[in-house]
Chain A
Amino acid sequence: MNRTLLAPFALALALGAIPHARAANDTELAAIREQIRSLRQAYEARIEALEQRLKAAEATASQPAPQVAARPSPAARPNLFNPAISLVLQGNYANLRRDPEKYAIHGFAQGGEIGPGKRGFNLAESEIAMSASVDDKFAGNLIASLTSDEKVSVEEAYGIYTAAPAGLVPKFGRFFSGIGYLNELHPHAWDFHGAPLAYEAFLGGKYVQDGVQMKWIAPIDQFIEIGAEAGSGEGFPGTARSGNGAASAALFAHVGGDVGDSHSWRAGLSWLRARPQDRQWTQADLAGNDALLSFGGTSDVSIADFVWKWAPRGNARATSFKLQGEYVRRRERGDLAYDANGALGLARTGVYESTQSGWYLQGVWQFMPTWRAGLRHDRLSTGTVDYGDNAASLALDGFSPKRTSFMVDWTPSEFSRVRAQYSRSETLPGLPDNQFFVQYILTLGAHGAHRY
């Protein structure tokens, strides 16, 4: 640090700070001179302070001099344009009373990736996330997941058009649908191990779109967000299908705000339509056989969600509380093919109509810095299911699957979390499961921003 080095810097700073130097008249010139003079004074004072500090540091040797890392020239670092990269490492130990291979939610069509996972020690998904601005018009984001069975899958890979006017946010590619609250969050940001039963039964764990999304934020101080999506509709409750056009559509609206400094909230309503073709699952028929069922038609999922967060004066460092709940209702209409486990090789197709629902409510309390405890209750209602012509072979009893989970987690920094969870899961009549999990979530690399 010396004066000759800093003076041009100060000058450059002063000049750079004045955008319309060309139009400068005499008074402006005087103002510029005044600014340069005050800047120079400020720097001289600063240098003096630094010199004194340096002397003090040399004298005591307890105070290191301020470290100023030399900035390498950009030309020498072509990698500077590399995207921000972060990794999420996850794993768990699971102690399950019931064989997870036989996991099912009684009375509900199954699909997607559901269940408590495998027993014993497990490596969960390792995620690699990369994001950057593409140019002045687009930003891109990729989240790939490496699974323990040596597979790579694309969780999300989307572009955002960032130059859109009027509060519009267009997004395209593969992305977590904006329906509900939990759906858009990655599982590593969830407060419990495993998705709520309502998400498992109606969305197969979570709903991912391959398609386009348009969101609009209202230009007022009240947060209002309205979004629409169109996609391939391959994810459960839809199926892969061949055809032009969108096989799935979604609409959602969220409102939110603050109440004082200590409270904030968000609530929303969402609707998703998928058009499955030949969506298959097995279900016990009245004769006790595992029958193969196949559904084709329309599936409408409606979600009402809310989340409320509290922290004393908005400072969540020591204590905070989060209450969150969602109600999910699914209505399906179409044709159901029934095949009694290949008996006589005959399949019978009839009209099918069902209306089923479920909800969860959870609270997470941070009772001291870095420690949180949470309780979640899940419940499903089989609702009404009309099997039409197949009613002689198929029927549902009134069993309502439910689950209660309790967790404690330790978050020494925002990059690491270790969680212990106990769940009592009653998804099959007469076969309650006691589940115990220990889970870790480690985040490395670029400091990502978190969703609300």
Chain B
Amino acid sequence: MTTRVLRLAALLALAFAPPAIAALNILATVPEWGALAAELGGDKVTVSVATTAMQDPHHVEARPSLIARARGADLVLATGAELEAGWLPMVLQQAGNAKVREGQPGHFEAAAFVPMLEKPARLDRAEGDVHASGNPHIQTDPRNIGRVATALAARLAEVDPANAAYYRSRQARFADRWSAAVARWEKEAAPLRGALVIVHHKAFPYLFGWLGIREAGTLEPRPGVEPTTSHLTRVLATAKAQPVKMVIRAAYQDDRASQWLAERAKVNAVALPFTVGGTPGAGDLFGLYDDTVRRLLQGLQ
């Protein structure tokens, strides 16, 4: 009996023991930070992502699998600005991992490192799903990715000091490639400057600020509230009265409202990847903006 118990204990210990050379375990809440962590961390990190590009990042459940992954994480990468308020605190509370709790070095919020847009002057839920810290969809401006990359490399070096030099050199290389790419995208996207568009959800203020696109209206009457017929009728009137070029939605959003408007207002309906994996072309961070700019330019025609 005793030997059997010992054997079982040994088996359990083996099953639960961490591998001898453990890579840094990173849990990213959304695909863009997962992709960035992989760019900077290379083979020193294992990245898992809590959501796919087809999920609405505001509405994720505190699933058992997420609790299990947060339990083993050395670093949790979140957007912050209350984007994950509905689930991440519950996952972290249940995961029993003190390293990644808010305020610890193992908890990284990207929104803390970029200038936030659309900070509401008045906080009232009658205005819809507003975020006190500003619009959380910061990844639609590639220059924000560059800012977050700098901060993230520093954080990786802090959490995993043994590989600090590795992370810094990867970040330096990434920064070079990235600034070249940003310059290229800006050149390609020059015709978009001043273009008037309608969006499904207020998901792109950073993108529009970057490329000089102007937003004429949203299909959602309030952020996070489903489009209604009466509101769509008003948006249609706007779209007909002004030289609106296209109606834009993120890949995860239902296409019915934007198709409805596109048909009636005779404008192009454009689905943007929004994050890595949102479209077949957006396979990594570079592809994300390649495809975004390509789709926007197509929408102009």
Contacts and interface: CB of A to CB of B under 8 A. Distances in A.
A217 B94 contact: yes
Interface size class of A (residues with CB under 8 A): 35 or more
Contacts of B121: 67, 69
A60 B93 CA distance: 48
Contacts, number: 200
Interface residues of B, number: 78
Interface in B252-269: 252-254
Contacts of B155: 17
A218 interface: yes
Interface string B171-212: 010010001000000000000011000000000010001101
Contacts of B60: 314
A42 B118 contact: no
B62 A452 contact: yes
B294 interface: no
B98 A163 contact: yes
Given A217-B94, A254-B64, A53 B212 contact: yes
A14 B150 CA distance: 8
Contacts of A22: none
Interface in A432-452: 444, 447, 449-452
B225 A17 contact: no
Interface in B224-258: 224-226, 252-254
A49 B210 contact: yes
B228 to A, nearest CB: 10
Contacts of B193: 52
Contact of B61 (A34, A168, A219, A264): A264
B127 to A, nearest CB: 11
B90 interface: yes
A8 B128 CA distance: 35
Interface string A38-52: 110110011001101
A282 B15 CA distance: 53
Interface string B65-79: 101110110000000
A218 B158 contact: no
Contacts of A67: 118-121
A160 B209 CA distance: 43
A17 B152 CA distance: 8
A56 B194 contact: yes
Interface string B97-113: 11001010000000001
Contact of B63 (A17, A164, A221, A256): A256
A15 B180 CA distance: 24
B59 interface: yes
Contacts of B254: 317-318, 369
A31 B168 contact: yes
A61 to B, nearest CB: 12
Nearest to B53: A313
A394 to B, nearest CB: 44
Interface in A375-411: none
B61 A160 contact: no
A261 B52 contact: yes
Given A50-B209, A68-B119, A19 B157 contact: yes
B42 interface: no
A257 B71 contact: no
B63 A264 contact: yes
B143 interface: yes
